[in-house]
Amino acid sequence: MIFGRRFGSSRAIRRTGISESRMIERHTELVRSIQLIVGDENIIEEPVLHIDGSRPTLIARPGSAREVAECLQVCSQATAAVVPAGRMTWLECGNPIKCVDVVISLERMRRIVQFSPPDLTATVEAGVTLNDFSAVSMRERQWLPFDPPGFGSASLGAIAACNSSGALRLGFGTPRDYVIGLKLAHADGTESKCGGQVVKNVAGYDMNKLYVGSYGTLAIITELTFKLRPLAERISTMMVSSRSRRQLFDLARRVLASELQPASVVFARRLSVSLTTDWPEEALLIRFINSEGAVEHQVDWVTRTLDETSFATVLTPGDADAVWAQVADFDQQEDIRVRLSVPLSAIPSEFEKTVLTHLECVATADIGAGIIRMAFDGDARSAVDQIKRLRASAAAADGSLVIERAPVEVRREVDAWGDAGSTAGLMRAIKARFDPKGLLNPGKFVSGT
């Protein structure tokens, strides 16, 4: 951090050894250079934006991959810390960033570059939202099967950068499985491409896999090519309730061990959703996405398998949409949300423990993917203690815990990702190779990379 209003502070001057007037001069130079790249109307100086307690001095809104790279080159020359952004709905994820000078927002980059229904592929600029893309692809009965938290307004660049997934993960995998090509702008202002526009094109290392899920700490994704899925004939969601939670977990286990192919098997607790039918305190949701006949057969199988304590309803399409939207974004009221990943066999016991520690928590268990998500409130001190306890419990079951959302004071106390163990050195080496000055989302990722 070397320029701008904040950098005139005595602390910054002591740290950098640069005089206040020189810092302001550098800041002015940087703003002018970025202005020349993106145009006056596409910068916001001194925005009202706080990211993990830091304030950027500038938001730049480039209109093309070339402009993104040019902005990065200027930032690199000025040693200015950069936060890449899509729709800016989830900038405070991961560990708190150490500092931010410039936010590079891709919100203007919303072009669908190419959509080829016969090949089931599409190339989009990174600022295209999932909603906007779906509106186009659905006309050809094709889709990207993503439903991560906040998916309505999320940009595809950010979904890929965070490899964000939701309840469709069991049936369809994660965004990492769908990215077949990327265009990137690197920290030093160079550009590169990896993968391509056809489904089978990987020889050697598949670099897409490295960038997807790196949380914008290695490069800015400017363009993505996805493979798409054909839309199935039918989608049915069954809501199963029972007096016994154990019966519901047992039913889930039998469904997963059978020849059925559910797209989602999720246990939900205390979701707040209003439906045309009664919504119980706890329910098992089973979603099938397939041909008419296959869905009918599977719904029938589940109905026949129910014991006398359980009751199943096939939700109307409207109710099903409302329920799955709530499964994705169940933590509207709570401050803290964590994700535990545990072996499938440990899901029922871990869920019991999780619920017992937080009687008031809202929680979901993606039983087929081994993921428990829970949201709760609490002051920073007790939240830190709870997270540490839950993490220790997950570790004892050979699992892990990631903080998905928490106030910055909590994430300063407890690492969002947990101890990376022996891979920490590798993570740091990769960061040092891709971003030697440590300018992209500094400190956000695993092991403070």
Ligand X SMILES: Cc1cc2nc3c(=O)[nH]c(=O)nc-3n(C[C@H](O)[C@H](O)[C@H](O)COP(=O)(O)OP(=O)(O)OC[C@H]3O[C@@H](n4cnc5c(N)ncnc54)[C@H](O)[C@@H]3O)c2cc1C
Q: How far is CA 285 from the centre of its chain?
A: 22
Handedness of CA 186, 192, 197, 199 (dihedral sign): negative
Alpha-carbon gap, residue 394 to 416, rounded angstroms? 14
Piece in contact with ligand X (CB under 6 A), picked from 58-66, 83-91, 192-200, 343-351: 83-91
Nearer to ligand X, 217 or 298 (CB): 217
Contacts with ligand X by CB under 6 A: the residue count is 31
Q: Out of 215, 279, 417, 445, name the contact with ligand X by CB under 6 A.
A: 215
Give least dist CB 179 to ligand X, A: 12
If binding is defined by CB under 6 A, does position 175 make contact with ligand X? no
Rg (CA), the chain: 23
Q: Which residues contact 20 (CB under 8 A, 6 or more apart)?
A: 7, 8, 13
Nearer to ligand X, 192 or 277 (CB): 192
Fill in the per-residue mask, 121 to 140: x = in contact with ligand X (CB under 6 A), - = not in contact.
-----x--------------
Specify the 3-state DSSP secondary structure of 342. Answer: coil
If binding is defined by CB under 6 A, does position 83 make contact with ligand X? yes
Nearer to ligand X, 161 or 194 (CB): 161
Piece in contact with ligand X (CB under 6 A), picked from 55-63, 72-80, 154-162, 381-389: 154-162
Fill in the per-residue mask, 319 to 338: x = in contact with ligand X (CB under 6 A), - = not in contact.
------------------x-
Q: Out of 169, 183, 353, 405, name the contact with ligand X by CB under 6 A.
A: 405
What is the DSSP secondary structure assignment for residue 421, as one 8-state letter? Answer: G
Give least dist CB 73 to ligand X, A: 16
Alpha-carbon gap, residue 125 to 82, rounded angstroms? 19
Q: What is the DSSP string of 398-415?
A: T-EEEEEE--HHHHHHS-
Piece in contact with ligand X (CB under 6 A), picked from 3-11, 28-36, 155-163, 310-318: 155-163
Q: Out of 42, 76, 142, 164, name the contact with ligand X by CB under 6 A.
A: 164
Give least dist CB 200 to ligand X, A: 25
Please answer whether residues 60 and 105 qualify as being in contact, where contact means their C-beta atoms are separated by less than 8 angstroms: yes
If binding is defined by CB under 6 A, does position 386 make contact with ligand X? no
Token pair recorded at residue 261: 């192919």
Q: What is the DSSP string of 78-139?
A: TT--EEEESSSSS-S-SSPPS--SEEEE-TT---EEEEEGGGTEEEEETT-BHHHHHHHHGG
Alpha-carbon gap, residue 328 to 273, rounded angstroms? 12
If binding is defined by CB under 6 A, does position 216 make contact with ligand X? yes
Q: Out of 221, 265, 383, 427, name the contact with ligand X by CB under 6 A.
A: 221
Q: Which residues contact 48 (CB under 8 A, 6 or more apart)?
A: none
| Footprint of ligand X (CB under 6 A) | 83-91, 93, 106, 126, 148-150, 154-155, 157-159, 161-162, 164, 215-216, 220-221, 337, 404-405, 441
